[in-house]
Amino acid sequence: MIRVMIADDHAIVRQGLKQILSETNDISVAGEAETGFEAITIARQQAFDVMLLDISLPDRNGIEVLKQIKKDRPSLTILMLSMHNESEFAIRAIKAGAAGYLNKQSAPMQLVAAIRQVAEGRKHVTPALAQELVNAITLNTEQPLHTSLSDREYQTLCLIAAGKSLSEISSSMCLSPKTISVYRARLMEKLKLTNNSELVRYAIKHNLVD
């Protein structure tokens, strides 16, 4: 039996995932978390085989949670879930130790197959993501500037490009507006941009927004 822990801040999503998994005879739900803090705590205290971890949690970015859990329990298998299309987030998640990256809009059977796959110690990546990963580790491939951003800077970039205001980004990331402004200044410098319009154009050009 594959024991699965679900970490997602939306109760309806957790319920939907539990319903899908209840229809299998080899997967059971061992626990739930709705914040990054809860996910980290449960990972330290409870035994299970696979964690389904949402990349967008209310208190901490999912990749930061992933890194902390992998530090505490290096052998734990974590499958990232997201509403975002495969993009730099997926590559960052895999590099941080995730066993795979799955869009929440995927078919139920794809979710079940992915859980079984990672539980066996294999990676779950689509052909498109596999190609992106190959490109990311090819030394002769010139990488876009945004690959140099920290996870927080990258998250700020995506939220600004999505049209979020400073206060909305501050609330979403649970950080002060001043801190968000620092991240914005840093990413602008790294990307050689001067204003939000240029930032949006950059994000669209590199498919960083849905």
Last residue of a domain, one of 137, 157, 192: 137
- Could you say which of 121, 137, 153 is where a domain stops? 137
Question: Domain check: are 124 and 195 in the same one?
Answer: no
Instruction: Answer for the pair 21, 29: CB distance below 8 angstroms, yes or no.
Output: yes
CATH code assigned at 67: 3.40.50.2300
Q: Please check whether residues 20 and 110 belong to one and the same domain.
A: yes
Confidence at residue 103, expressed as pLDDT on a 0 to 100 scale: 83
Residue 210 lies in a domain: no
Q: How many CB atoms lie within 10 A of CB 142?
A: 6
Are residues 40 and 118 located together in one domain of the fold?
A: yes
Q: Is residue 155 domain-shared with residue 81, that is, in the same domain? A: no
Q: What is the pLDDT of residue 175?
A: 87
Query: Average pLDDT per run of 10 along the chain, which is 210 residues long?
Result: 94 94 95 94 94 89 91 94 72 88 86 94 81 63 78 90 90 89 92 90 84
Give CA–CA dist 167/185, Å, rounded: 16
Output the pLDDT for position 18: 94
Identify the CA nearest to 167 among candidates 181, 157, 154. Answer: 181
Tell me, yes or no, whether 34 and 110 share the same domain.
yes
The per-residue pLDDT for 88 is: 65
Task: Name every residue whose Cβ is closer than 8 Å to that of residue 200 and which is 6 or more positions away in sequence.
Answer: 160, 161, 209
For 27, residues 6+ apart whose C-beta sits below 8 A from its C-beta are: 1, 2, 4, 21, 112, 115, 116
The residue segments making up the domain with residue 43 are 2-137
What's the rounded Cα separation, in Å, for the pair 61 and 89? 11
Does some domain include residue 121? Answer: yes
- pTM strictly above 0.95: no
Q: Which of 137, 161, 182 is the last residue of a domain?
A: 137
Domain identity same for 28 and 131: yes
Kindly state the tokens that stand for 118: 């990672």
What does the chain come to in residues? Answer: 210
Query: Which tokens in the block code for residue 108?
Result: 């139920």
Same domain, 104 and 75: yes
Q: Is residue 23 a part of any domain in this protein?
A: yes
Tokens of 46: 């409870």
**Same domain, residue pair 154 and 74:** no
Three-class SS state of 47: coil
24 and 96, same domain (yes or no):
yes
One-letter identity of residue 174: C
Same domain, 101 and 23: yes
Number of domains in the chain: 2
